[in-house]
Structure 1
Amino acid sequence: MAESIGAPEGIIDDFDVRAFVLDRLASEELDGARVCVIVPDATRSCPLPLLLGAVHEALHGRAAAVTVLIALGTHAPMSEEQLAKHLGGPYEGFDIRNHEWWLPETLVSLGEISAERVAQLSEGRMRQAIDVTLNRAVVEHDVCLVIGPVFPHEVVGFSGGNKYFFPGIAGQEIIDFSHWLGALISSAEIIGTRGITPVRALIDEAAAMIPARRLALCLVVESGRGALHAASFGAPEDAWAACADVSAQTHVRYLDAPVRRVVSIIPEKYDDMWTGAKGFYKVEPIVADGGEVIIYAPHITRISAMHPEIEQLGYHCRDYFVKQWDRFSDQHWGVLAHSTHLRGAGTWDPVAGERPRVTVTLATGIPESVVRGANLDYLDPRAVDLDALAADPSTFVVPQAGEILFRLR
């Protein structure tokens, strides 16, 4: 069982957070151990300077070696300046690294999940063997300690726990595989789903193959600020489950009726549409059929530096790909998944073509030709009057969009 502190309606004092981390790590057999600490990148709200400061106090001079590994998934690497701001420090004796997912020599295969087992875990949606490839750190350290928040998530239901291994520090093949499984279920259906979803089941199965002992400090973070509502420490499965229960109460807001238009104001921690698209995922459930989501982010000037192919592929609903699979099966499935997540629900057939449920409009710094070329609508951000939109009874404006999920009662 995981040990937990906090509650959905409260905020934990920093002193109590530090004491909790110190106490939990003191209770673990870490003397002389090589410890890999896996943490999120800057796209997640998380008080890492507070937490890593406590981890450093608990492990420096006690553990034989400590590596802090940034769980990028397939995001862009963080610079030394960005890391210093994100992590705090300095942390004497700690080796801080980005997960270099694009370098095959940094990865190791842990084995294979069979096609038959994949079919069971995916509830029949997929049936092919998958190579479980992960950052080499998992075989070079005795203990892997995950530190990261739990939020409603478009691929897995609720993020956190073993998700910091897959996709956090995984190879691209299994990242693409798990994301496409989530896309087959659809973002609108899986996001904020409690319990073990098919994607979570696949992730847990893969994580069980890690040779190092796995621990997790899971967190429920106040969105946009970084204060903690709750924290749980233990096996990743247990700590995650405890925090997912709290996140379901803290990070989900309910509306009584659908709205015609939503304006999602994207915070600057999302610096491209690959990450800023969370401003769509979290509001899609409350938009009326035929409605519109405006992604307002003047600071975003590109769709994705790490996945430029999305500009040629464009954004399309799930059926567009599934019903033309012979055209798209050789694309990176993670890119296809991102495409469907931002395009949202819809239909496609060879006669009527594509019919999205809602309109997605980008009011960003991305050039109009790129936006329209990617099959989205364009709005000049200079023409957006946020005050007027907020006063419009048919419009719902979401500040700091991307972490709070909105649903209908």
Structure 2
Amino acid sequence: MTDTRELVTAQALQAARIGGPDSVLTTEEVRAFILESLGDTDFDGRSVCLVVPDGTRSCPLPFLLGCVHEALVGRVSRLTVLIALGTHVAMTEEALAKHLGYQDDGLEATYPGMTVLNHEWWKPETFVSLGAISAERVSELSGGLLSISADVALNKVIVEHDVALVVGPVFPHEVVGFSGGNKYFFPGIAGPEIIDLTHWVGALITSAEIIGTRGITPVRALINEAATMIPSEKLALCVVAQSGTSSLHAATFGSTEAAWASAAEVSAQTHVRYLDAPVKRVVSLIPTKYDDIWTAAKGFYKLEPVVADGGEVIIYAPHISEISVVHQEIYEIGYHCRDYFVKQWDKFKDMHWGVLAHSTHLRGAGTYDEVHGERCRLTVTLVTAIPEEKVRRANLGYIAPADFDLAAYEADPDTFVVPNAGEVLFRLH
């Protein structure tokens, strides 16, 4: 993988930033930064679409949204919030009210003049095609991993606004290296072809290789290429959250590339922990913001690198009762390593590549051949409310929540128990 950290550092210098890896910002500092940054930017008389995360990403979103609203209301001609669902379940009105901070008085009372929309990815009329990335360009940007063209479809709400302003956190990410920036467009509010393309390129590289990788990864390069087709001006207010709290280490503002690059530099120092030696077993305690395995799988992605060969990752999430509400295909194919699909490509090539990618990300490293079958490096075990038959059919291990003794695992010197799993990446020195 090409080292592009110098390019990212150069981009980062083009963004305004407050805070850093050793900082914990006050709300007054963050508010002043947002008001000044947006106040110095030409928004007057222009329509603005705020692209924000859904409930699976943690940051003090109501506070940030309140500051952005304060900075823009009365200046812009139109203000719309678009929830970057990707292909997650749509947020209900109750969930939106809590997520955005208007549950008591209602949207208009809290944020006058603002509209809130789910990204309705399940409706074809949601999208407009911006063009295509050619097979030759895909091959170039992916380092030869794929050579296939992809339609770049995006939620049409973006092109109907003068400015697209991304507001959200940056964390280590299993598909792209670090989340945030243009990733809020692709896959956040994108059509299926570009989602499948980028996710499968990430799967071919493997989650363990790409997660937490600094610089412009092949997936980030493809996302940035797609973003050049967006006609609206693209800006970002990126934040680096103190995981497990409502506090922030840093906030950045600038173009979607520059603000992301600056925030990713901080995230690389605050959201990555190092162990001196591999562990035999991990128990990932999954927070309730992840309500299916599709999203809770981050508890595996962030821990896979520190587990010894032959070890186990236990996903402890007794509140979860589904692998995926949306992507039912996962029940059909189950969880397998990358080579299981690559070496039987004719059998799986017509499946959504995003589903195949998710499957490989949760199953981790392994090999496959016709003689020995599939041999995975780690065992993955679920402690959830999903029925045992469904779990085992998906090629995962099962322990009933009633039979799981968390205290015993916490006392076991061979077990690493991780609270609030899913955001902090663990690696070996």
Q: TM-score, normalised by structure 2?
A: 0.95
Counterpart in 1 of 2:100? 87
Identity %: 69
* CA displacement 1:226-254 (0-9 Å, x = unmatched): 21100100001111111111001000000
**Following the alignment from structure 2 to structure 1, what is the Cα–Cα distance between the partners of residues 50 and 404?**
43
Counterpart in 1 of 2:64? 51
Contact 1:146–1:216 under 8 Å retained in 2: yes
Contact 1:74–1:172 under 8 Å retained in 2: no
Unaligned runs of 5+ in 1: none
Q: How much does 1:173 deviate?
A: 1.7
Counterpart in 2 of 1:179? 199
**Following the alignment from structure 2 to structure 1, what is the Cα–Cα distance between the partners of residues 286 and 124?**
33
Q: CA RMSD in A?
A: 0.7
Q: How much does 1:110 deviate?
A: 0.4
Which secondary structure does the structure 2 equivalent of 1:206 belong to?
A: helix
Task: Select 1:347's aligned residue among 367, 373, 384.
Answer: 367
Letter in 1 for 2:361: H
Number of equivalenced pairs: 409
Q: How much does 1:84 deviate?
A: 0.6
Letter in 2 for 1:319: D
Counterpart in 1 of 2:420? 400
Matches within 5 A, 1:24-173: 24-89=37-102, 90-173=110-193
Q: How much does 1:382 deviate?
A: 1.5
Letter in 2 for 1:67: T
**Following the alignment from structure 2 to structure 1, what is the Cα–Cα distance between the partners of residues 214 and 72?**
34
**Following the alignment from structure 2 to structure 1, what is the Cα–Cα distance between the partners of residues 42 and 265?**
28
Counterpart in 2 of 1:284? 304
Counterpart in 2 of 1:363? 383
**Following the alignment from structure 2 to structure 1, what is the Cα–Cα distance between the partners of residues 242 and 154?**
30
Q: How much does 1:78 deviate?
A: 0.3
Letter in 1 for 2:224: D
Answering whether residue 312 of structure 2 is matched by residue 299 of structure 1, we say: no
4+ residue runs over 6 A deviation:
none
Matches within 5 A, 1:302-321: 302-321=322-341
Answering whether residue 27 of structure 2 is matched by residue 14 of structure 1, we say: yes
Q: How much does 1:284 deviate?
A: 0.1
Q: How much does 1:381 deviate?
A: 1.4
Q: How much does 1:7 deviate?
A: 1.4
Letter in 2 for 1:338: H
**Following the alignment from structure 2 to structure 1, what is the Cα–Cα distance between the partners of residues 211 and 159?**
32
Q: How much does 1:225 deviate?
A: 1.5
Contact 1:119–1:126 under 8 Å retained in 2: yes
Q: How much does 1:55 deviate?
A: 1.0
Q: TM-score, normalised by structure 1?
A: 0.99
**Following the alignment from structure 2 to structure 1, what is the Cα–Cα distance between the partners of residues 191 and 401?**
36
Q: How much does 1:326 deviate?
A: 0.1
**Following the alignment from structure 2 to structure 1, what is the Cα–Cα distance between the partners of residues 300 and 246?**
22
**Following the alignment from structure 1 to structure 2, what is the Cα–Cα distance between the partners of residues 76 and 205?**
27
Which secondary structure does the structure 2 equivalent of 1:202 belong to?
A: helix
Unaligned runs of 5+ in 2: 1-13, 103-109
Which secondary structure does the structure 2 equivalent of 1:8 belong to?
A: coil
Answering whether residue 252 of structure 2 is matched by residue 229 of structure 1, we say: no
Contact 1:38–1:144 under 8 Å retained in 2: yes
Letter in 1 for 2:83: I
**Following the alignment from structure 1 to structure 2, what is the Cα–Cα distance between the partners of residues 174 and 228?**
31
**Following the alignment from structure 1 to structure 2, what is the Cα–Cα distance between the partners of residues 225 and 311?**
34
Counterpart in 2 of 1:330? 350
Which secondary structure does the structure 2 equivalent of 1:348 belong to?
A: strand
Q: How much does 1:61 deviate?
A: 1.5
